[in-house]
Amino acid sequence: ENIVVSELAKLMGVKATELIKKLMLMGVMASVNQAIDADTAVLLGGEYGIEVKVKFLTEDDLIPVHDDKEEELTSRPPIVTVMGHVDHGKTSLLDRIRQTAVAEGEAGGITQHIGAYEVKMEKGTITFLDTPGHEAFTTLRARGASVTDVVILVVAADDGVMPQTKEAIDHAKAAGVKLIVAINKIDKENANPDMVRNQLAEHGVISEDWGGDYQFQEISAKANLHIEDLLERVLLEAELLELKGNPTALAEGIVIESKLDKQKGAVATVLINRGTLNKGDNFVVGTEFGKVRAMFNYKGASIKEAGLSVPVEIMGFSGVPQSGDRFVVTPDEKTARQVADLRSDEARKKNFAEKSAVSLADLFNKIKEGELKELNIVLKADVQGSLEALKSSLIKLSNPEVKINIISNGVGGISENDVILASASNAVVIGFNVRPGVQARVKAEQEGIELNLYSVIYQAIDDVKQAMEGMLDPSS
Ligand code: GDP
């Protein structure tokens, strides 16, 4: 919402030194490279008979949208999440695959936990999300981020379909993600893979060799049986999905983990799903921004660039981003800052609107969501008798969930002061046989404060009671 003096001068066709003089006469001290606010710019324009229009930039203005063309796309590795019932072997499988991955790289390499890792095979690469179970999957999805192409559903051959197996099936289906079944623990004596096939068929997951369209693989994570076969099935599935991305675009990705590291500061693991990320790139992520100071792969090795489906731990954030946040490289630092500022402003406005708008109608929701433990009331009445009666009746409405606080009470009309107090302390105003003055009404409008006026005592009490119970008819 600000503009630098030199830029404004250029737009107006007036010398910057000239503008600075005018600004001084208006009582504003600014140098060529300093920014002045929109209101001042409009006034300044007026001095020269130039109409200055203020346009608020949106994200779309700042980050140009580029539609990837077909010829720009190349195939990218699949991203896999392992799900299944507790103790069916998800962690064992992820560990086993990670060992395979490291064994093929530097001898004795130590893996770092960054939330994901890559497995490079002869026929292609696979990226695994290193958080087993559907919590991470669901959390990311709830935040609008889809980072999984294939789900490996682990089912123990000695235990069969259990509640979380069903949940995993539902999650994968809801997300429209391909499912591959790994029947685990086939090394066990009491393993019964056919029982698993039967039970899964009942849930609509029918294996290919039974005429369905799901790939099944019998494995043992512990005894290291058929793990490669399972990985090959993943690659086969990926081929059918024709996963593609534009490697030349400015990079984008999803934050899958983040933390504040004692040495590195704010770090996050980002899964790149568009473009190629380079050291030195500027970026914005949620309300944070930054510059890629250093990047590390899952082995902890420093790297200079990261391509499609590659998980990288990044250093250089202004603050810790949230998992599920979209990470977007910007053309320059200024843009990154501007977008982050824009988002912070919006978040602040939203917060403010939500906070100040305590009204009887949304009282119950706030109580239910645990946002409100006390209901503050500013109370005004025409005579002392009614005031006392109302006061004691309202206080008695307190229950274990919400305590009623009469933060101010008095005889007389509703004043501007009453409204200011209500606004500052998140209170509702209740008036009995009184009216608000003009200034109070204007202030209430500005601050979004509800003025509840009554001429029957029990009605006032009833309204508050019903609001607390979520029974208030919003139209009343
Ligand atoms: P998660 O809860 O799904 O992550 O399951 P874990 O990977 O922690 O495994 C649960 C238990 O099953 C552990 O004691 C593992 O050693 C064991 N386990 C996992 N895979 C196999 C397997 O293939 N065969 C046998 N016999 N035990 C396994």
Residue listed under structure tokens 């979380």:
164
Nearest CA to ligand 1 atom 25: 185
Closest atom, ligand 1, to C-alpha of 84: 3
Q: How far is the CA of 89 from the centre of ligand 1 (A)?
A: 4
Q: What are phi and psi of 328, to 5 degrees?
A: -130, 125
Interval between CA 222 and ligand 1 midpoint (Å): 7
CA–centroid distance, residue 435 to ligand 1 (Å): 71
By the 10 Å C-beta count (0-12 exposed, 13-18 middle, 19+ buried), 385 is classed as exposed
457 CB-side CA count, 13 A: 13
Distance 24 CA to ligand 1 centre (A): 75
CB distance 89 to ligand 1 below 6 Å: yes
Two structure tokens written together for 299:
């082995």
Amino acid present at 212: G
For residue 136, pLDDT beyond 90 = no
Angstrom distance (rounded) from CA 16 to CA 194: 81
Which of 94, 222, 224, 227 maximizes ligand 1 atoms within 8 Å of its Cβ, making it the mutation to test the pocket?
A: 222
Cα 376 from Cα 378, distance rounded (Å): 7
Query: Which atom of ligand 1 is found nearest the CA of 132?
Result: 4
Least confident of 115-124, 340-349, 352-361, 422-431: 352-361
- On average, the pLDDT of the chain sits at 88
Find residue 333's DSSP bridge partners: none
The answer to whether residue 104 scores a pLDDT higher than 80 is: no
User: What is the number of residues in the chain?
Assistant: 476
Considering only CA atoms, which residue is closest to atom 11 of ligand 1? 87
Which atom belonging to ligand 1 lies closest to the Cα atom of 154?
3
Residue 363: the pLDDT is: 74
Ligand 1 touching residue 132 (CB < 6 A): yes
141 lines ligand 1 (CB under 6 A): no
Q: Determine contact, residues 338/57, Cβ cutoff 8 Å.
A: yes
Comparison of pLDDT for 24 and 185, the residue scoring more: 185
Q: What pLDDT sits at residue 414?
A: 92
Looking at residue 264, its pLDDT comes to 87
CA 185 – ligand 1 centroid, Å? 7
- Kindly state if the Cβ of 92 falls inside 6 Å of ligand 1: yes
Alpha carbons 148 and 168: distance in angstroms, whole number? 13
Residue bearing the CA closest to ligand 1, atom 14: 87
- Residue 473: band (very low, low, confident or very high) from pLDDT cuts 50, 70, 90: low
Question: What band does 51 get if pLDDT is binned at 50, 70 and 90?
Answer: confident
pLDDT at residue 142, rounded to an integer: 65
- pLDDT band at residue 476 using 50, 70 and 90 as cut-offs: very low
Question: Does position 87 have pLDDT exceeding 90, yes or no?
Answer: yes
Q: Looking at residue 442, what is its pLDDT?
A: 87
9 HSE (CA, 13 A, CB side): 19
Going by pLDDT thresholds of 50, 70 and 90, the confidence category of residue 475 is very low
Question: What would the mean pLDDT of 338-349 be, rounded to a whole number?
Answer: 84
Q: Is residue 173 lining ligand 1, measured as CB closer than 6 Å? A: no
Q: How far is the CA of 92 from the centre of ligand 1 (A)?
A: 6
C-beta separation of 230 from 215 below 8 A: no
Among 74-83, 129-138, 228-237, 307-316, the range scoring the smallest mean pLDDT is 129-138
Query: How many other C-beta atoms can be found within 10 angstroms of the C-beta atom of residue 56?
Result: 9
How far does residue 404's CA lie from ligand 1's centre (Å)?
Answer: 53
pLDDT confidence of 170, banded at 50, 70, 90?
confident
Q: Say what the pLDDT of residue 254 is.
A: 94
87 lines ligand 1 (CB under 6 A): yes
Q: How confident is the model at residue 158 (pLDDT cuts 50, 70, 90)?
A: very high
Give the model's confidence band at 124: pLDDT under 50 very low, under 70 low, under 90 confident, else very high. very high
Q: Is the CB of 162 under 6 A from ligand 1?
A: no
Residue with tokens 């409405």: 397
- pLDDT (tens digit per residue) in 279-335: 999 999 999 999 999 999 998 899 999 999 999 999 999 999 988 899 999 999 999
Give residue 386's identity as a one-letter amino acid code: S
Rounded-to-integer distance, Cα 297 and Cα 315, Å: 12
CB 134 near ligand 1, within 6 Å: no
- Give first-to-last CA distance, the chain, whole Å: 40
Distance 87 CA to ligand 1 centre (A): 6
Please check the confidence at residue 357 and state whether its pLDDT lies above 70.
Answer: no
**CA 85 to ligand 1 center in whole angstroms:** 11
> Which ligand 1 atom lies nearest to the CA of residue 220?
23
Predicted confidence at residue 111, as pLDDT, reads 66
The pLDDT of residue 383 is above 80: yes
Q: Is 105 exposed, middle or buried (0-12, 13-18, 19+ CB in 10 A)?
A: middle
Ligand 1 lined by 187 (C-beta under 6 Å):
yes
Cβ neighbours of residue 434 closer than 8 Å, sequence gap 6 or more: 380, 381, 382, 412, 413, 414, 453
pLDDT category of residue 67 using cuts at 50, 70 and 90: confident
